Structure 1
Amino acid sequence: MSAPSSLDLLHPTLAHHLVNTLGWPGLRPLQREALAPLVAGEDAVLLAPTAGGKTEAACFPLLTAMAQGGWDGVSLLYVCPLKALLNNLLPRLQSYAGWLGRTAALWHGDVTAARRRILRERPDVLLTTPESLEAMLVSTKVDHRAFLGGVRAVVVDEVHAFASDDRGWHLLAVLERLTRLCGRPIQRVGLSATVGNPDDLLTWLQGSGAGKRPGRVIAPGLPPPGAAPGEGPPPGDVELDHVGSPENAATVIAALHRGEKRLVFCDSRQLVERIGAALRARGVTVFLSHASLSVDERRRAEQAFAEARDCVIVATSTLELGIDVGDLDRVIQVNAPGTVASFLQRIGRTGRRADNRRNCLFLALNEHGLLGAAGLLRLWARHWVEPVEPTPEPRHIVAQQLLALCLQESQIGERLWAQWWDGLELFGHAEPVLAHLLREGFLTRDGGMLMVGPEAERRFGRRHFAELTGVFTAPPEFTVLHGRTEIGRTNPALLAAAEPGEGPRRLLLAGRSWAVTWVDWKRRRCFVESVDDDGRGGRARWDATGHTGWSFELSRAVREVLLGEDPPVRLTRRAVDALAKARDRHADHVHPGGTVITRHGGDVRWWTWAGTRANLTLRATLTGLADPAQQARDTHLRLCDDVDPARWKAAREGAADRVALPEVDGKALEGLKFTAALPRHLAERTLAARLADVEGARAVLVEETRFVVGE
């Protein structure tokens, strides 16, 4: 008897619809390889490029297991980092579940009206975010044991995005609590594009089950970890141009690829707005997407873009993940993303049709953007991708979880709380955090039981502890309203009184200029009217978040470029000329044999090409030599003006063995949520560990250094 085909392992109804409804001739390689282990209950990380069929690779076998095993009630969770991605996936998962007579539903912060129905008519598949899952566990309106006690499996989409962020630790901790609630292991399946360390990602995803439960990385067609990279750069039509300004970028975008659908990525919301407005002024049909636009505004833009042809959508990383905006012809990148992984996600948006190759046009606005793009493309050409590394020392998440557990259970035994996380690494050093929570009144102790205390009520108790369910902070923003329609949110600094003679304050939002008619300071709302472009456009501004500068690897790739190595992509004449000027300007700052110290009068700089985090670490390590007040740079450190070769050699002696963590500005602690629930020294230690690159600093400290004295 022949071995069963992959379709034979699928539930017969799914197999029927796959062929007759979807019109598929069969399963893709990832879907074939995932089927048997997932039906058998194994944990897994599924790796494939964007549009590689990862959702189906996870859900078809899990729906098969659901039907074969008679899973009842909410038994499959599908967790995403973005609500928009969940919205986009819902119709597909409703169809797949419906083929088997099952249901799927959506639960997140923007969907509140349907919650009573969902609680009453429990779906088999629940699409949600970690924050909403936490809210269900702590809510007094949800019987979390009855509602979630039947969960058998969880799919974590874009798992790499979670694992490199505090939301990942939060998700793992919530899944451990859910596992204890269910009284059985929960199968965990992560979906990701290419990452540099997939086995580590699987171990991380398994949490306390790592080494106890079967698990595997499934990545057909991708080389195994440690394998030699393929010959030449990955496939793709990539070009690098230097345009000099956002307005010039808009001119190029408007002129090129007319009649095609183009997705433009920018590294900030301000740049999205500025380029969007410039494209609209040039008569281009343009849509915008970024986190400070209202949900309805983004949804309208994404839907209109998906249905149009000759148009452009300008976005931040909100469209980097798997939200479907239809078939794309072109991806354009303004300056460069911070990682190769992001670039792979973005270029993977193209090339889905047989007549369309993966492509990306880089438009550099300045020298820094040009060098960053060139360095990143050299890493990409070597098939190098960043390893996914969980954020270090997440003590604030420990504090949040202890408080959330006490909310969930009303009270918990002071010697039993650790059982809820079953030895998860996150809680290895929780005792000092617990002691602080008790000492400061965030928790109280009564008869050996822990309960939420008055200080937690005071700081986090508003809106039924809603602040406790999310682990990231957002600066205060004002809602912008045109009549009753919300357009988005803006920085309150733009709403201060205008200068005399300037007329009404103007905002740039959704690619349009708006005149501010009234500001409700108490309720954080401002009302606007649309204005014609009279040469005095609006302004856009938001506080920067999450930018950590170039990594060590990217900085070293940039140094290679300055030493004469071009990225193996097409370079326009403007890019060639701009690279030549950059190499000439930095001729004294780079050397193949190590680092360089330059002196021009009293200006002494150490050109490390080590990245922002490594340079912050070096500044803290070389106290007395590095200027402690300088701003962090990707490329260099400023040194004291009395540094000479003898003093430098003495300071460097043994420094690689005593690398120090960066000092932390007290204001920076405001960006680390729940720091109020931590002792200050532990909060500072957590943030310092996140600012550091110890290995990069050590690598620089053992390199040779040459001195260059300018005129």
Structure 2
Amino acid sequence: MSADALDLLDPILTHHIVNSLGWRSLRPLQEQAIEPLLSGQDTVLLAPTAGGKTEAAAFPLLTRAQRHGWKGTGILYVTPLKALLNNLHPRLETYTGWVGRTAELWHGDIASSRRRRILSQRPDLLLTTPESLEAMLVSTHVDHRAFFSGLHSVVVDEVHAFAGDDRGWHLLAVLERLQRVVERPVQRVGLSATVGNPSELLDWLQGSGRGRRPGQVIAPGVALPEPGVRTGASAPGAPGTPGASPPPGDIELDYVGSIANAATVISSLHKGEKRLVFCESRRAVEELGEQLRLRGVTTFLSHASLSTDERRRAEEAFAEARDCVIVSTSTLELGIDVGDLDRVVQLDAPATVASFLQRLGRTGRRPGTHRNCLFLALDDEGFLAAAALLLAWSRGWVEPVIPPPEPRHLVAQQLLALCLQEHRVGENLWQEWWGGLGVFGAAAEPVVRHLVEQGYLERDSGTLFIGPEAERRFGHRHFMNLTASFTAPPEFTVLSGRTEIGRTDPDLLTEETDGPRKLLLAGRSWLVTYIDWRRRRCFVEPADEGGRAKWSGFGAHRVRSFTLARAVRDVLLGGSPPVLLTRRAEAKLAAAREKYLDVVHSEGTVITRRGAGDVRWWTWAGHRANATLAASLPSVVLRHRMVDDRFVRLREDVTGQSWRAAVEDAGTGLTLPEVDPNAVRGLKFAEALPARLAEATLAARLGDAEGARAALAEPVRFLLRQGG
């Protein structure tokens, strides 16, 4: 262990690191993080899963708290998931206890009695979510100025998971408000797995720049790109993330063709070992769980529609068991500890290389073991998606984390939340709360006008305050629904007696059925005995088999990026990921290359006619780029057709001449994709925006101008003969 690094930490912490943890050395990340964090710098700490990021942040910040005599809640530790908070709390409680300090949890499942104790005896470190943090700011039961008066540092765990969606904008906006409340710049520390643009992630985390501190990315063993150089770009031949070469491990790709076959493979392989299986939908989790149990495998399930108690029981049992399988959606992708794993299995492919790296990092933690992942493809599309993802990964490519553009709906939400927090806000002063952060500055004026015109806000004597429409739409249970930045589709709670099992889609309770109505939940079949429509509750009793699982939601369609779509094309053109392919996988790969032989071209794109009315432009550009191209070439594109990752449907009468004219008309002035007004419903708080702004926000998120321009610039091969 580096004596120099240890000398910088509080001596009591150093004693316990050596004697209580039994560590012979700090990891490189932990050593390199000490000086920047002690000096108050903003940082992003980059390391694979189980890379020691929590300790790399906690030890220097606790040292800083001791040296400067911080009083009250000096450190916030923010994560995306309550389960992750619950998992981290015992560890951080131990570390704070070593130096005579305290750590507490605050989220939606914490009892009111415990909350009252936290408010009266402020912990030194508070673990929470952004939604709970904002709930504290707007609550009439919390004196937020007093409670947060001692705040100096915020740790954002799994920061990449925040930055890639609207919860990230919500988090940044809340942190800006919090910084104004405490009247000092607050140090921001992000913990992240491997990403394609760590410097940009740090810049995003630093927010508006108001009181911005010096910042740096700390990522031992990873060669970071030059500042301002974009990596993971969605363009042909885009470079991989420097230094992100594949870690050692055993990766295998197999084709099984169905969930039942996947269960047969999983049940017969690696008996006596602990296996974690990732699925890309809750329905797949349920169906695989049922199939594994039918084969006598000890099986546990985890997904967002299972009750908290059901998930906790499964995770605890899995952590203690040996010969077993836990089947999960991405809920177990982040840093929740489920004990030492032997194997990770992936059905089809995760949406991103970054997700794959998180999941791969679940294995190989014990000395003498290797990271490993077995991919089981359920159909042709899943097989090609897995092969393409592994090819991109083998090239060292990881997605850049890109915040969703133009979060105007969150501007509306934040304005309402601020008026709840402060009761009255000066109509010319509200911008100061966000320091010009993104669209939270002058660009938000049309949103403010709309909120006033529609009665969400009222204006009087130069101040803004909550209006009757906001009370009507969001006032239920003390405006609880206002603090969440995403929309959850309505679900029915499923109960067996008094025990909550989870939640199900109401469609399963209304669809016609020939026999008894049965649900599949928690990997077991249930007979529906009574439905309480008013309270959205469904009562069940155990059934032998025959249950169905279903969930639907806004934005459920998963889209492939430009780079991963191009990786599919590369696979079809002969590129093979350097992983073990089973004989079934080799046969499936050969069949796929034969099937798509005429529609892939290494130097450009292909236009084919495969019968009357079926003309396709095979761009292999990804869903968003193709949506942009379809909107930008109206004279040759077949309207009102679903967009595909691989191709754009063209008019039957397209010719080489009409094609060239359409491309020339498009020039560089590409058009954003059209938005179905019904799709706006999935944008939470969209009703608090003018309709045109809500649609413009969604359109900006559906497009990929860079990928579209790349596809347009490539040569086109025409195969327009009938049947060609």
> What is the TM-score when the length of structure 1 is the normalising length?
0.97
1:612–1:634 Cα contact (<8 Å) kept: yes
Query: Residue 652 of structure 1 corresponds to which residue in structure 2?
Result: 663
Tell me whether 1:386 sits opposite 2:399 in the alignment. Answer: yes
How much does 1:74 deviate? 1.1
Q: Deviations over 1:198-257 (max 9, x none)?
A: 110001001123794111100011122269856974322101000000110110000101
Name the stretch that deviates more: 249-258 or 427-436: 427-436
2:531 is paired with a residue whose SS is strand
SS in 1 for 2:94: helix
Aligned equivalent of 1:662 = 673
Equivalent of residue 543 in structure 1, options 536, 553, 570: 553
Distance 1:128 1:276, change over 3 A: same
Would you say 1:200 and 2:200 are equivalent positions? yes
Distance 2:111 2:709 in 1: 51
**Which ranges of structure 1 fall in alignment gaps of 5 or more residues?**
none
CA distance in 2, matches of 1:676, 1:596: 42
**Mapped contact 2:206–2:212 kept (Cα < 8 A):** no
Greater alpha carbon shift after TM alignment, 473-482 vs 413-422? 413-422
2:618 paired with 1:618: no
Residue type at the aligned position of 2:620:
W
Please state whether the residue corresponding to 1:601 is helix, strand or coil: coil
Equivalent position SS for 1:5: helix
Aligned to 1:506: 518
Q: Does 1:322 align with 2:332?
A: no
Q: Structure 2 matches for 1:4-23, cutoff 5 A?
A: 5-23=4-22
Q: State how far apart, in whole Å, the 2-side matches of 1:153 and 1:207 are.
A: 14
CA deviation profile, 1:21-73 (whole Å, cap 9, x unmatched) = 11011211000000111011111000000000000000100011111111111
Counterpart of 2:107?
Answer: 108
Segment drifting more, 559-568 vs 210-219? 210-219
Match of 1:517 in 2: 529
Q: 1:99 to 1:340 in 2, by over 3 A?
A: same
Spell out, residue by residue over 1:333-389, the C-alpha distance to the aligned partner (whole angstroms, 9 max, x if none): 000001110000000111101121001000001110010011111110011111110
**Aligned positions, number:** 705
Give the counterpart of 2:315 among 302, 322, 325: 302
Q: Residues of 2 paired with 1:553 and 1:497: CA distance?
A: 40
1:86–1:510 distance in 2 versus 1, CA, 3 Å = same
- Could you tell me how far apart the structure 2 residues matched to 1:137 and 1:656 are? 49
What is aligned with 2:151?
A: 151
Alignment partner of 1:467 out of 481, 484, 494: 481
SS in 2 for 1:264: strand
Is contact 1:394-1:686 (8 Å) kept? yes
Query: Within the alignment, does 1:606 sit opposite 2:617 as a pair?
Result: yes
Give per-residue Cα distances to partners, 1:649-704, cap 9 Å, x unaligned: 11111524121000111111111000111000000000000000111111111111
Choose from 576, 582, 586 the match for 1:576.
586
Q: Distance in 2 between matches of 1:232 and 1:349?
A: 18
> Residues 9 and 35 of structure 1 are in contact (CA less than 8 Å); yes or no, is this contact kept in structure 2?
yes
Cα 1:123–1:279 shift into 2, 3 Å: same
**CA separation in 2, counterparts of 1:374 and 1:245?**
17
Q: Distance in 1 between matches of 2:555 and 2:502?
A: 18
**Greater mean deviation of Cα atoms: 341-350 or 646-655:** 646-655
Give yes or no for the alignment of 1:132 onto 2:132: yes
Q: CA deviation at 1:600?
A: 2.0
State the alpha-carbon separation in 2 of the partners of residues 62 and 234 from structure 1: 30
- Please name the residue that 1:360 is paired with: 373
Which structure 2 residues correspond to residues 265-276 of structure 1 after superposition, within 5 A?
265-276=278-289
Partner of 1:288: 301
CA distance in 2, matches of 1:557, 1:613: 16
Letter in 1 for 2:409: H
| Aligned counterparts of 1:497 and 1:390: Cα–Cα separation in 2 | 38
Is 1:411 equivalent to 2:424 in the alignment? yes
CA contact (8 A) 1:339 1:376 kept: yes
> CA shift at 1:497, angstroms?
6.0
**2:386 is aligned with 1:373:** yes
Alignment pair present for 1:496 and 2:510: yes
| 2:160 counterpart SS class | helix
Q: Of 277, 285, 291, which residue of structure 2 is paired with 1:264? A: 277
What's 1:37 paired with? Answer: 36
| The one of 441, 444, 448 aligned to 2:455 | 441
Q: Could you tell me how far apart the structure 1 residues matched to 2:312 and 2:38 are?
A: 35
Task: Note the C-alpha offset of 1:172.
Answer: 0.5
The aligned amino acid for 2:247 is P
CA contact (8 A) 1:506 1:539 kept: no
Say if 2:182 is the partner of 1:182: yes
Equivalent AA in structure 1 for residue 513 of structure 2: E
| SS, match of residue 588 in structure 1 | helix
CA deviation after TM superposition for structure 1 residue 498, in Å = 4.5
Contact 1:514 1:538 in 2 (8 A): no
Instruction: Tell me the residue number matched to 1:81.
Output: 80
Residues 272 and 417 of structure 1, relative CA distance in 2, 3 Å threshold: same
Between the aligned partners of 2:554 and 2:369, the Cα distance in structure 1 is 35
Residue of structure 2 aligned with 1:401, choices 414, 425, 440: 414
- Contact kept? 2:620, 2:646, Cα under 8 Å: yes
* Aligned position for 2:695: 684
Given that 2:348 and 2:385 are in contact with CA atoms closer than 8 Å, whether structure 1 keeps it comes out as yes
Distance 2:558 2:537 in 1: 31
- Contact 1:656 1:698 survives alignment (8 Å): no
The 3-state SS of whatever aligns with 1:630 is: coil
Q: Is the 8 A contact 1:273 1:540 kept in 2?
A: no
Confirm or deny: 8 A CA contact 1:477 1:491 kept in the other structure.
yes
Cα offset, 1:637, TM superposition = 1.2
Aligned partners of 2:306 and 2:502 also within 8 Å: yes
One-letter amino acid matched to 1:658: G
Residue of structure 1 in register with 2:469 after alignment: 455
Corresponding residue number in structure 1 for 2:706: 695
Q: What is aligned with 1:255? A: 268
The code of the aligned residue for 1:449 comes to T
Instruction: Output the aligned Cα RMSD.
Output: 1.4
CA contact (8 A) 1:548 1:612 kept: no
Residue 437 of structure 2 is aligned to residue 424 of structure 1: yes
Instruction: Map 1:164-179 to 2 at 5 A.
Output: 164-179=164-179
* Cα gap change, 1:44 to 1:233, in 2 (>3 Å): closer
The answer to whether structure 1 residue 94 and structure 2 residue 108 are counterparts is: no
Which amino acid in structure 2 is aligned with residue 433 of structure 1? Answer: V
Alpha-carbon distance between aligned partners in 2 of 1:307 and 1:591, rounded to the nearest angstrom: 52
- Does the 8 Å CA contact 2:40/2:213 hold for their aligned counterparts? no
Question: Using the alignment, how far apart are the partners of 1:222 and 1:475 within structure 2?
Answer: 40
| Further displaced range: 370-379 or 547-556 | 547-556
Q: 1:567 maps to what in 2?
A: 577
Does 1:343 find its partner at 2:356? yes
| CA–CA distance in structure 2, aligned partners of residues 158 and 229 of structure 1 | 21
* Distance verdict in 2 for CA 1:445–1:532, change over 3 Å: same
How far, CA to CA, are the matches of 1:508 and 1:550 in structure 2?
29
Distance 2:457 2:654 in 1: 52
Q: SS at the partner of 1:529?
A: strand
- Distance in 1, matches of 2:75 and 2:393, equals 36
Offset, 1:149: 1.9
Distance apart, 1:548 and its partner CA? 3.6
